[in-house]
Chain A
Amino acid sequence: MNGPIRHLAGVIFVAFAVLVGAVTYLQVIRGPEYRDDPRNLRVATGRAGKERGTIITADGVIVARSAADPNDPQLFRRTYPEGESYAHVVGYATLIFGAAGIEQTRSAALVSDRDATISGVLNAILGGDIRPQGLRLSIVDDLQQAAVIALGEQYGAVVALDPDTGAILAMVSNPGFDPTSLQGRDAGPAGNALDADPGEPLRNRAVNATYPPGSVFKIITAAAALEAGIAGGGTTFDDPLTLELPGSTATISNYDGEVCANGDIVTLTQALVSSCNTTFGALGMQVGAEQLVTRAEAFGFNQEIPFDLDTLTSVIPGAESFANDLPGVAQSAIGQRDVRATPLQMALVGAAVANDGEIMQPYLVQQVFNSAGEVESEATPAVWRRAMSPASAASLTDLMEKAVVAGTGFRAQIPGFRVAGKTGTAEVPGGPPDAWFIGFGPVDAAPGEGRVVVAVVVEDGGTAGTNGTGGSIAAPIAKSVMESFLGQ
């Protein structure tokens, strides 16, 4: 009579073995997948209330800090003393709304090792440094605040960088938000309101928004012509009232609807100084889609920018899409049609001109330091890509300086300093134009003396609305930032 009991026991032990198999599968094989699932609150709650590293600017202004809760020394509260002005760069790390900015991308350095993992406990016992590391940004507070004030209430973005190193000196996006409001108990409603705001205050427009670049793209068209040997500063073009586009009823005319110069002939220099669409449309068709797209990609279009923040890629359609579409080439050559660029990308275009045709890899984090304030690692400037030859860069510098001295960019003039720049007033279907300016100075600074590149975009013509232009709206903002850099 033992048979049935043995058989039953056998079946039950097989079932127990299956349980062990299931535990192995769920905990060991599938375990990491479940552990890292974004819906698994353990990851986020594990970090909530823990000390995070301090973030300071290049000149020592604290922009993010953790302070122990007076009621519970185990709990830390994160505050952002500079509020809105650094909201998009520094970002936030929250329980409910995830993370953004440097707080997200450099989280590994900023979190404390004071945790319950075996290595964490061992580290603590062995007296290792378990406090979080801090970050020193490349941003200079004076420039950042100058950009914030100059942009004012207008929607848009400002990027300032050092063309010799790639260090970002200012990065502002408006509208903004106070990241401290996403901490603590009221984070839920506060975050939902920001998320639902049609002005998209959470978006970092400097890197996560693309705009039609309009006339600032003419720098790239000119570079393509210079590199291809098609034109130089003195090359002359016809100066019609409107540019007829072959195989199309569409035409290109200038911003003011007038001829570019005298209605007869115009030089490339004159055309850039006055930002003539007729000339650059014709030049674009002469250069051809192949050369234009190749040159734009050399400047960083269609390329992922290696950066400390997640960025959108600036786009120009491939050359093959312009087969039998010369009008498309002409419109792309003046930064319209399907060309889209981020403010960071256009700052890098300015940097290429300023830095003899080479673009340095942009960075935001200057140093990582430990809890004792000792520097653990430092950013090393590196060349990202070559956009054009030094000769072309020198020619373009000359053209852009003339555009400030005697052209559309005159509002960026700073007495006593040589400034180069280019305006853009990009047409946006069904709305006021986006106002652009990219520029740099001082043009004649010796290497190592320091120069600054500034890119500005103001949405919907800014305070001037439909009458807004790059020259009237964006250039004064760039001027303010450059003045701050020059100590004016």
Chain B
Amino acid sequence: MTRSAEAALLLTASVIAAFGTALVGFTRGIGLDAQVALTFIVFVGAFGSVHLSLRRWAPSANPYLFPLAAILAAVGLTEVYRLDPELGSVQRWSLLIAAAAASALIFVLRGDGVAVLRRYRYLFLTFGVALLLLPLLPDTWAVRGIEANGSRLWVGFDLPGRTVSFQPGEIAKLLLAVFLASYLADHHLAMGTTRRKIGRLALPPLRQFGPILLAAAAAFAVLVYQRDLGASLLLFALFVGAIYLATGQLAYIVAGAVLVVAGGAASYQMFSHVQRRVGAWLDPFADFSDAGYQVAQSLFALGSGSLTGSGVGMGRPDLIPAAATDFIFAAVAEEMGFAGAVAVIATFALLVAAGFGIALHTRDLFRRFLAACLTLVLAVQTLLILAGVLRLFPITGITLPFMSYGGTSLVANMLLLAMLARISHGARV
């Protein structure tokens, strides 16, 4: 029953994606063309394969995860395709690859697969940190790091005719979530107790926190070295959130917040591109033609969108630099208006709610922590970039899950959903 509902919802999302491509075609004066059919086929193929994998290997998994992701992907692809048909075409193939990866992960995690993850946590930690280190590979190597916009986040290698690049950090956050969930499942009891006190201040048990702090420090050192402060913030939120989940002690959140402020102040002093971004955040119009240009253009887009938007293909989101990646939400808000923007936020909120629901309904500690950590990653990433676009926070340069142009991000977030789906299957059995 639930799987049939899922199939119907996925088909609806596929029709919406095809409709989006058709709209772009009409506003470009091309009309209906093969691209519309291609979008529909790719969506049906991608989400159909995930759906069939779920039917086979996780039949009682939560049926809303992938339909919610599919509708976000449909809206995102429509806007990316509208901004640049070539990027849209690439994004379509990325979706196929991401769906294949998610299906494969559902297969790998069949039976006791999730429990196996728990045993190899240090392997995942090592892999995770290694992935974070990859962009530091020298420029001259066949597989090399690539720097863009002041951050060194990409790894690329040459295939005949083109360069393939990806962001290993996107995958690393999943591995680190698995490590954290596993470690905390084994040690949360000890971590929740306090052995020593200095006056009224209770000190946490260093023995249990040692490894986790080391892991966190290693991850941050790498990210700060690469100057990817958005991902640093995301990982930091993951570590602090996970420790709070395990101990239930609010003090960690407070301590974490203090560290974020201190770290933020320090990076403001150290990095010129952080200063630019903070300046653009505080007053984008002060340096309109330079640092504030992007944020100001985003505000123009939001304002021009008004209630119902200009209509797909009828606005000018192309005026915003990096509209297809960091500012995809501003593009959606301009062309689909306030109504579309709120719908997107609500869809993300539903997805996050489904994730936390899975965590709450899972008895096994590891799975429960893993579901919560994965949901936390998804939620914090979404909040960080949306808060950036909406000027509640400086722009951090991370992608909006399922919507921004970017293959690695799409693959990582589909894998994240695959894990959540597999955990939810276990919970319901």
The reply to whether the CB of B248 lies closer than 8 angstroms to some CB of chain A is yes
- CB of A39 within 8 A of CB of B296, answer yes
Given the contacts A22-B391, A24-B338, A35 and B288 also touching, CB distance less than 8 Å:
no
**In the complex, per-residue mask of A62-106: 1 if CB is within 8 Å of any chain B CB, else 0:** 000000000000100000000000000000000000000000000
Contacts of B52 in A (CB 8 A): none
- CB of A42 within 8 A of CB of B316, answer yes
- CB of B303 within 8 A of CB of A40, answer yes
How far does the alpha carbon of A46 sit from the alpha carbon of B300 in the complex, in Å? 14
**In the complex, per-residue mask of B279-320: 1 if CB is within 8 Å of any chain A CB, else 0:** 000000000100000001001101111111011001110010
Q: Which of A1-60 contact B (CB under 8 A)?
A: 1-6, 8-9, 12-13, 15-16, 18-20, 22-24, 26-28, 30-35, 37, 39-42, 45-46
How far does the alpha carbon of A34 sit from the alpha carbon of B334 in the complex, in Å? 12
In-complex Cβ contact of A19 among B304, B380, B390 (8 A): B390
Total chain B interface residues with beta-carbon distance under 8 A: 50
- CB of A116 within 8 A of CB of B311, answer yes
Given the contacts A9-B353, A18-B392, A27 and B303 also touching, CB distance less than 8 Å:
yes
Contacts of B359 in A (CB 8 A): 5
- CB of B303 within 8 A of CB of A33, answer yes
Nearest to A30 among chain B residues (CB) is B303
How far does the alpha carbon of A26 sit from the alpha carbon of B302 in the complex, in Å? 7
The reply to whether the CB of B368 lies closer than 8 angstroms to some CB of chain A is yes
- CB of A31 within 8 A of CB of B387, answer no
Which of A1, A41, A118 gathers most chain B CB within 10 Å?
A1
How far does the alpha carbon of A31 sit from the alpha carbon of B352 in the complex, in Å? 29
The reply to whether the CB of B80 lies closer than 8 angstroms to some CB of chain A is no
How far does the alpha carbon of A116 sit from the alpha carbon of B335 in the complex, in Å? 11
Contacts of A39 in B (CB 8 A): 288, 296, 300
In-complex Cβ contact of A28 among B304, B307, B315 (8 A): B307
In-complex Cβ contact of B338 among A2, A16, A19, A27 (8 A): A27
Contacts of A74 in B (CB 8 A): 29
The reply to whether the CB of B105 lies closer than 8 angstroms to some CB of chain A is no
Contacts of B314 in A (CB 8 A): 116
- CB of B303 within 8 A of CB of A41, answer no
Nearest to A115 among chain B residues (CB) is B314
Given the contacts A4-B245, A20-B345, A27-B337, A32 and B303 also touching, CB distance less than 8 Å:
yes
- CB of B372 within 8 A of CB of A16, answer no
How far does the alpha carbon of A111 sit from the alpha carbon of B2 in the complex, in Å? 54
- CB of A19 within 8 A of CB of B345, answer yes
**In the complex, per-residue mask of B230-260: 1 if CB is within 8 Å of any chain A CB, else 0:** 0000000000010011111000000000000
Contacts of B307 in A (CB 8 A): 27-28
Given the contacts A16-B345, A19-B345, A45-B316, A34 and B300 also touching, CB distance less than 8 Å:
yes
Which of A5, A22, A118 gathers most chain B CB within 10 Å?
A5
- CB of B372 within 8 A of CB of A5, answer yes
How far does the alpha carbon of A418 sit from the alpha carbon of B333 in the complex, in Å? 69
How far does the alpha carbon of A33 sit from the alpha carbon of B285 in the complex, in Å? 13
Nearest CB on B from A25, distance (A): 8
- CB of A42 within 8 A of CB of B391, answer no
Nearest CB on B from A28, distance (A): 6
The reply to whether the CB of B427 lies closer than 8 angstroms to some CB of chain A is no
Contacts of A27 in B (CB 8 A): 302-303, 305-307, 333, 337-338, 341
- CB of A37 within 8 A of CB of B302, answer no
How far does the alpha carbon of A15 sit from the alpha carbon of B304 in the complex, in Å? 25
How far does the alpha carbon of A414 sit from the alpha carbon of B300 in the complex, in Å? 60
How far does the alpha carbon of A6 sit from the alpha carbon of B357 in the complex, in Å? 9
Nearest to A9 among chain B residues (CB) is B356
- CB of A116 within 8 A of CB of B310, answer yes
Nearest CB on B from A113, distance (A): 15
- CB of A20 within 8 A of CB of B342, answer yes
Nearest CB on B from A164, distance (A): 47
Nearest CB on A from B6, distance (A): 23
In-complex Cβ contact of A23 among B246, B341, B376 (8 A): B341
- CB of B303 within 8 A of CB of A35, answer yes
- CB of A8 within 8 A of CB of B245, answer yes
Nearest CB on A from B359, distance (A): 5
Nearest CB on A from B290, distance (A): 13
In-complex Cβ contact of B386 among A19, A31, A32 (8 A): A19
Given the contacts A34-B299, A116-B311, A23 and B391 also touching, CB distance less than 8 Å:
no
How far does the alpha carbon of A32 sit from the alpha carbon of B380 in the complex, in Å? 31
Given the contacts A2-B360, A12-B379, A37-B300, A19 and B244 also touching, CB distance less than 8 Å:
no
- CB of A26 within 8 A of CB of B391, answer yes
Contacts of B379 in A (CB 8 A): 12, 15
Contacts of A35 in B (CB 8 A): 300, 303-304, 306
Given the contacts A8-B245, A18-B392, A41-B319, A23 and B345 also touching, CB distance less than 8 Å:
yes
- CB of B245 within 8 A of CB of A40, answer no
Nearest CB on B from A430, distance (A): 39
Contacts of A118 in B (CB 8 A): 308
Return 12 A-B CB contacts under 8 Å, by A number: A1-B248, A4-B244, A12-B352, A12-B379, A15-B383, A16-B345, A16-B348, A20-B342, A23-B302, A23-B338, A35-B300, A45-B316
Given contacts A12-B380, A28-B338, 8 further A-B contacts (CB under 8 A): A4-B247, A26-B303, A27-B302, A28-B306, A34-B302, A39-B288, A40-B300, A116-B311
Give the interface of B toward A (CB within 8 A): 29, 241, 244-248, 288, 296, 299-300, 302-308, 310-311, 314-316, 319, 333, 337-338, 341-342, 345-346, 348-349, 352-353, 356, 359-360, 365, 368, 372, 376, 379-380, 383, 386-387, 390-392
What are the nearest 3 A-B pairs in CB distance? Answer: A34-B303, A22-B390, A116-B314
